[in-house]
Amino acid sequence: MSRKPRLILSKQALAANYQRLSSFSGTAECAASIKANAYGVGIDFAAPVLWEAGCRTFFVAYLDEAIALRRLVPDAVIYVFHGLTEQEFEIASAAHIRPVINTLGDACDPALAALKPALHVDTGMRRLGIPEYQHDQLIEVVSQCQPSLLMSHLASADEPERPDSEQQRTLFEMIRSSLGTVCPPSSLANTAGILLGASYHYDLVRPGIGLYGGSPNPDDPKGFEAVVTWHAQVIELQHVRAGDTIGYGGSYVAPRHLSIATIGLGYADGYLRALSGRGEVLVEGQRCPVIGRVSMDLITVDVSIVEDIKEGTWVEMMGPAVSLDTVAQKANTIGYECLTRLGDRLERVIV
């Protein structure tokens, strides 16, 4: 039997998530954030599916991601969040790649206008973007680099009860108003921002995590379809007695007689070590707890409630039953990390 863990990637789920987000965004164009190898699911898989579903604009972090994406979607509009160095302008121009301008220094190069850049203004994230104390220079910057898009990024859209997003939107509105007739089309909303409502949508939205089946807040699932189903196989079955220890450090002590299964994946595959003693998997329709420490290539699971289990049985680590958001909650993290940690040695099957 093949003992490599596998990812089953659903074209239908990815397209459905895109179309759902597009329907939420109303008249605004729905782009896609496809950085970090499409949030770990694979750019080769995701880009053609999203294009077929109607997506025409994509965002990545680095130029090499943009070049790889251009081969997959030759006619798409592609922006690079982190901008470009001067040495990269020629390559970007040849591939029709658009940089995002994040600083006044970035905006100074006269060659930028030909690349149809986006202009990123900071409205409260304080991470990337021209900061508020330099906004008085924006009219000059817009005149100089002629951006095709004005954008900002919401810091707390996944927490709608906080006032931060509305404060950022208000500042963004002030910036747009100050630019008047030279204001380019505008973009503010990520997945969480789309869900805040129409006042955040502007001309273009750029979802990420929702496309791939996760919620911006794992404590508040939004019902996106599972794009990734993660399977691994039972490699060995054992019976242990009360008092026996399991795994590295003997961190788990069996409280009674147990049947345990050793599953062939670990943190080298992206199954986070934080899931030690916290994770759960689906075995023959039964939810079973991870016991002991997650190791590099293996985990152990209490399968005492499963009546008919054999070596070679496939187990769901994440998918329709054990959702991405559930895994994130168990690991005390977010779905973004769970997806982007998926390992290169996982077999990928597209359905």
pLDDT of 27 > 60? The answer is yes
Distance, in Å, from the CA atom of 350 to the CA atom of 10, rounded to the nearest integer, reads 6
What burial class does residue 105 get, using C-beta atoms within 10 Å of its C-beta: 0-12 exposed, 13-18 middle, 19+ buried? exposed
For residue 109, what pLDDT band results from cuts at 50, 70 and 90?
confident
Orientation angle between helical segments 164-179 and 138-145, nearest 10 degrees:
60
Distance, in Å, from the CA atom of 79 to the CA atom of 116, rounded to the nearest integer, reads 9
Residue 30, beta-bridge partner list: 205
51 closest CA partner among 14, 23, 98, 24:
14
What burial class does residue 195 get, using C-beta atoms within 10 Å of its C-beta: 0-12 exposed, 13-18 middle, 19+ buried? buried
Distance, in Å, from the CA atom of 59 to the CA atom of 38, rounded to the nearest integer, reads 10
For residue 2, what pLDDT band results from cuts at 50, 70 and 90?
low
CB 208 within 8 A of CB 191: yes
- What pLDDT is recorded for position 225? 97
Where in the chain are all domains bearing CATH 3.20.20.10? 31-212
Q: Which residues are catalytic?
A: 35, 248
Q: Region 179-195: what's the mean pLDDT?
A: 97
pLDDT digits (tens, 9 = 90+) for 240-260: 999 999 999 999 999 999 999
**Measured CA distances, 186 to 26, 104, 169, 292, 348 (Å):** 15, 19, 12, 50, 37
**Measured CA distances, 29 to 3, 32, 141, 327 (Å):** 43, 10, 25, 31
For residue 110, what pLDDT band results from cuts at 50, 70 and 90?
confident
Where in the chain are all domains bearing CATH 2.40.37.10? 228-350
pLDDT digits (tens, 9 = 90+) for 132-146: 999 999 999 999 999
| CATH topology assigned to domain 31-212 | TIM Barrel (3.20.20)
Strands (E), the chain: 6-9, 29-30, 32-33, 57-60, 77-80, 97-101, 118-120, 149-151, 186-187, 204-205, 228-240, 245-246, 252-253, 258-263, 280-283, 286-291, 299-302, 314-318, 347-350
| CATH topology assigned to domain 228-350 | Lyase, Ornithine Decarboxylase; Chain A, domain 1 (2.40.37)
CB 64 within 8 A of CB 237: no
- What pLDDT is recorded for position 125? 97
Distance, in Å, from the CA atom of 21 to the CA atom of 55, rounded to the nearest integer, reads 11
Distance, in Å, from the CA atom of 351 to the CA atom of 96, rounded to the nearest integer, reads 31
Distance, in Å, from the CA atom of 187 to the CA atom of 205, rounded to the nearest integer, reads 6
**Is this prediction's pTM over 0.85?**
yes
Q: Region 43-67: what's the mean pLDDT?
A: 98
pLDDT of 1 > 80? The answer is no
pLDDT of 98 > 70? The answer is yes
pLDDT of 40 > 90? The answer is yes
Q: Region 114-130: what's the mean pLDDT?
A: 97
Looking only at the bridges linking them, the beta strands covering 118-120 and 97-101 are parallel
pLDDT digits (tens, 9 = 90+) for 252-303: 999 999 999 999 999 999 999 999 999 999 999 999 999 999 999 999 999 9
C-alpha distance across the termini of the chain, in Å: 21
Distance, in Å, from the CA atom of 236 to the CA atom of 64, rounded to the nearest integer, reads 42
pLDDT digits (tens, 9 = 90+) for 152-171: 999 999 999 999 999 999 99
Contacts of 71 by beta carbon, 8 Å cutoff, 6+ apart: none
- Per DSSP, the three-state class of 336 is helix
Q: Region 91-96: what's the mean pLDDT?
A: 97
Instruction: Tell me which residue has tokens 């895994």.
Output: 327
Q: Region 10-33: what's the mean pLDDT?
A: 98
Q: Quote the mean pLDDT of the chain.
A: 96
pLDDT of 202 > 60? The answer is yes
CB 162 within 8 A of CB 124: no
- What pLDDT is recorded for position 45? 98
- Per DSSP, the three-state class of 61 is coil
Helix-, strand-, coil-residue percentages of the chain, each rounded to 5: 35, 25, 40
Distance, in Å, from the CA atom of 9 to the CA atom of 1, rounded to the nearest integer, reads 21
High-pLDDT (> 70) share of the chain, %: 99
